[in-house]
Amino acid sequence: MTQTNDLPPSLQSELLSVAHALADAARPIAMQYFRKGGQGVENKLEGDFDPVTVADREIEQAMRAILAERRPDDGIFGEEFGQTKGTTGLTWVLDPIDGTRAFISGLPTWGVLIAVGGQDGPQIGMIDQPFIAERFIGTPRGARWQRGHEDIALKVRACADLADATLFTTFPEVGTPAERLAFERVRDRVKLTRYGVDCYAYGLIGAGQADLVIEAGLNAYDVQGPIAVIQAAGGIVTDWQGGPAHNGGTALAAGDARTHAAALELLNA
């Protein structure tokens, strides 16, 4: 099995090029439906609301078509069409629209998530926001932010004390009742808490605009792209026990290891 830290620079460049092609293909499809009719919203969960749209499916189909042409031997794990095994040890992890609730509400906090790596986690990842035309990119060479002709390096910011931290999560009712109580222990110690920012929150940590994201109930496709961006920008992402988060479950993302340690202690108090 290919380990992500063993990929040669030439392969990293190829994978990055393919990731850009996937994000470029997703943008016009997303914009065809965002803030327009014909989204074809369906609910994937009985007794709850987990929406999927025509855009979700069309984007993933377009990305899979590109991978079939350019990386046919790699595996794929997509939110809408499941897993396809490969032979290279590399798997593309795709969330065609992360934050579908925001998408159908007209809020530009959703994004297209793309990652590629091996069993030990993502090597390259992207958070792409088509409406704002922002792209957050993480590679072993560092993190970048691109919009049009703008292209700048990303770096997390220092934050030594939770009392100075800005915290994001998607839902106030984080995870299970016990997980919500754990989250609230951190929430009660930070300077500012914001909700409903979806995957854009992780990009803001990479850009040095925020300090913590705490979430639960995640799948691998929800978090692998963001993990690559934050780690490349100098941050840290683990589960709530301090272990790997790339397979989903819980996630604690931080720009500063000191803030991460303090939040981790409170989550497990």
What whole-number percentage of the chain has pLDDT above 90?
Answer: 86
Report the distance separating Cα 133 and Cα 66, nearest Å. 21
The model's pLDDT over 202-242, given as tens digits with 9 standing for 90+, comes to 999 999 999 999 999 999 999 999 999 999 999 999 999 99
Does position 142 have pLDDT exceeding 70, yes or no?
A: yes
Report the distance separating Cα 34 and Cα 209, nearest Å. 26
Instruction: Provide the pLDDT for residue 53.
Output: 84
User: Is 165:188 a contact under the CB 8 Å cutoff?
Assistant: no
pTM over 0.95: no
The DSSP bridge partners found for residue 237 are: 253
Res. 3 pLDDT band, cuts 50 70 90: very low
Res. 42 pLDDT band, cuts 50 70 90: low
Domains and CATH numbers, the chain: 4-153 (3.30.540.10), 162-267 (3.40.190.80)
The model's pLDDT over 95-139, given as tens digits with 9 standing for 90+, comes to 999 998 899 999 999 999 999 999 999 999 999 999 999 999 999
Helices (H) and strands (E) in the chain, counts: 7, 15
Does position 265 have pLDDT exceeding 60, yes or no?
A: yes
Token output for 193: 């808490």
Residue 79 DSSP one-character state: T
